[in-house]
Structure 1
């Protein structure tokens, strides 16, 4: 199964997403902001199959994290999450770097399907 890094400043969202993805047998590691997530990526030499990050976070937001992750770990698949239309718009220029943007709120089935699609695209891409 895949190794997935989840970055979100809301603990309840991190736990929900980690639990949902774990139902499919994936290993999850969580971070409370982009800066912590980037540290984890660097310490692990990018050994993750997927980065799933919220866009709007303090310290380092998901866009800055996605840019740094794509630069340092170009094989890493990136999936963004947001509940804000303006943040989704900011991400639209990142199509070459990210797989997709998932709109919050989402169901457990939605996040599981989005992760499965991103991982499947990685295998074929």
Structure 2
């Protein structure tokens, strides 16, 4: 199964996503903001298969995190999450590095399907 790093500044969302993803047997690690997530990415020798991050977060937002992660970890698949239309629009120019943007609110089934799709894309070599 995959190792997935989840970054979201909302505790309840982080917990929901981690539990949903774990239902499929994936190992999850969570971070409360982009800076913490980047520290985890760079400090974890085992690496991650997927980064699932909210766009709007304090300290370092998800777009800055995605840009840094794509630069330093080119094989990492990145999924963004947002509940804001303007943030989704900001992410639209990142198609080369981001697999997809999941719109909040979403169901457990929605996020599990998005993660499965991103991991399948990773295996086939497509972002």
Shorter chain as denominator, the TM-score bin is over 0.9
1:44 is displaced (CA, Å) by 1.1
Q: Which residue of 2 aligns with 1:66?
A: 66
The whole-number CA distance in structure 1 between the counterparts of 2:24 and 2:75 is 22
Gap runs ≥5 in structure 1: none
Query: Which residues of structure 2 form unaligned runs of 5+?
Result: none
C-alpha RMSD of the superposition? 0.8
Q: After TM superposition, give the deviation of residue 25 of structure 1 in Å.
A: 0.2
Question: What TM-score comes out, normalization by structure 1 length?
Answer: 0.99
After TM superposition, the runs of 4+ consecutive aligned structure 1 residues lying more than 4 A away are none
Q: What does residue 93 of structure 1 align with? A: 93
1:100–1:46 distance in 2 versus 1, CA, 3 Å = farther
> How many matched pairs?
125
User: How far off is 1:46 after superposition?
Assistant: 7.0
User: Which residue number corresponds to residue 27 of structure 2?
Assistant: 27
Matching residue of 1:48:
48
Q: Alpha-carbon deviations, 1:44-82, whole Å to 9, x = none? A: 147000000000000000000000000000000000000
Secondary structure class of the residue paired with 2:42:
helix
Partner of 2:4: 4
TM-score normalized with structure 2 length: 0.97
Distance 1:118 1:84, change over 3 A: same
SS in 1 for 2:74: coil
Alpha-carbon distance in structure 2 between the residues aligned to 1:10 and 1:63: 17
Take 1:114 and 1:51, find their aligned partners in 2: how far apart are those partners?
12
**Is the Cα–Cα contact under 8 Å of residues 33 and 61 in structure 1 kept in the other structure?**
yes
Aligned with 2:96: secondary structure? coil
Aligned residue number for residue 81 of structure 1: 81
Please give the secondary structure, in 1, of the residue aligned with 2:79: strand
